[in-house]
Amino acid sequence: MTAVQVRVAHGSPCWVTLLVHDLDRAQAFYSALLGWEFTPGPAEPGGYLRATRHGAGVAGIGLAPELPAAPVEWTAYFAVDSADAASARVREHGGTVAVGPLSSGPAGRLAIAADLSGAFFGLWEGHEHLGWELVGEPGAPAWTELVTGDEPTAAAFYGAVFERQVVAADPSAVARGEEDAALRVAGQRVAGLRMTGLGQTRDLRDGPPRWRIYFTVADADLTAGQCRALGGAVLVEPRDTPYGRVARLADPEGARFSVVAP
C-alpha cells in the first residue's frame, strides 16, 4: 500500500469527486467494481460519502442538485496554496469560476472552475483534509489527464493558473500513445494533456473537453466485464498502452472514468 499522509504539492491532482442522482446505486456500483468502502464525509445537502480502500481515502461521492439536464461527471481537484489566489488567476487568464471560493468547514477551502474550452476542475486548499491517501493501488486513483481539442491553449492556461510548467512530449512518445503534454511539479509529471478532435480518431468517442480520471485495477478486462454486469457500460474495450492495459467505462448514470492495470 502506498499511503499519502502529507500535503500534496501545489498544482498536483489531489482528490476526485462525483455528484450523482442516486447515491445508493452509485455506492453499490463502485463498492462492487473497485472494492470501495464508504464513510460519512463533510455535512452536505443530501449527503456526501468518502470512499476508502483499506481505510485510506480515495474519492468522494455526493448527491447532485435536482437539475435533470446536468451531466454526471467525475471532477478532478488540484491542490493549491490559496483557493482565492488560484481562482483569481483562473479569471485573469480567461477561465470561469462557477462555484466559490468557499469554505468546506474545517476540511478546507474549495472552488470549481472551467478552462477556456469548458472543461471543469476543482481547486482544493486543504486544511484538515489534504487529499487522497492512497494512489497506484487497486481501487485508488492512478492518473489524471485533460482531453482537449486545443492543447497549446490549455497548456498556457493551466501553466498560468498553477504557476507550474506544462511540457510538450516528444513526437515519438505521442506516436506510441503517450499524452501530448504533461503538467510538471518539481520536475515530476503529475497530470497529462491529450489532444482530441476531428482527424484524430483515438478520442472521438470521449465527448467534450474534460479531465479524465483513471483508477488502478488488477485486471482491466475483468473489470470491464464486471462494469457491464453491474449496469455500467464499456465505452472503449481494454487495450494495451505504454502505461498498461486501459479501458474506458461509464457507471449506471453515465459518469465516465478509465481503469488501468499497470
- Can you give the pLDDT at residue 175? 59
Report, as ranges of residue numbers, the positions in the chain whose pLDDT lies below 70: 1-7, 42-46, 67-70, 171-178, 197-207
Position 147 scores a pLDDT of 93
**Cα-to-chain-centroid distance, residue 49:** 17
- Name the nearest CA neighbour of 30 among 189, 260, 259: 259
Q: What are phi and psi of 87, to 5 degrees?
A: -65, -40
Q: Which domains does the chain possess?
A: 13-126 (3.10.180.10), 141-261 (3.10.180.10)
**pLDDT, position 196:** 79
Q: Write out 152-170 in H/E/C secondary structure.
A: HHHHHHHHHHHCCEEEECC
What is the per-residue pLDDT for 174?
61
Which candidate, 195, 214, 19, places its Cα nearest to that of 117? 195
Q: CA-to-CA distance for 235 and 249, rounded, in angstroms?
A: 5
Q: Say what the pTM is.
A: 0.91
pLDDT attached to residue 208: 83
Which residues pair with residue 261 across a beta bridge? 245
The pLDDT value given to residue 72: 86
Q: How far apart are CA 180 and CA 203, in angstroms?
A: 13
Grid-cell match 464525509, residue found: 41
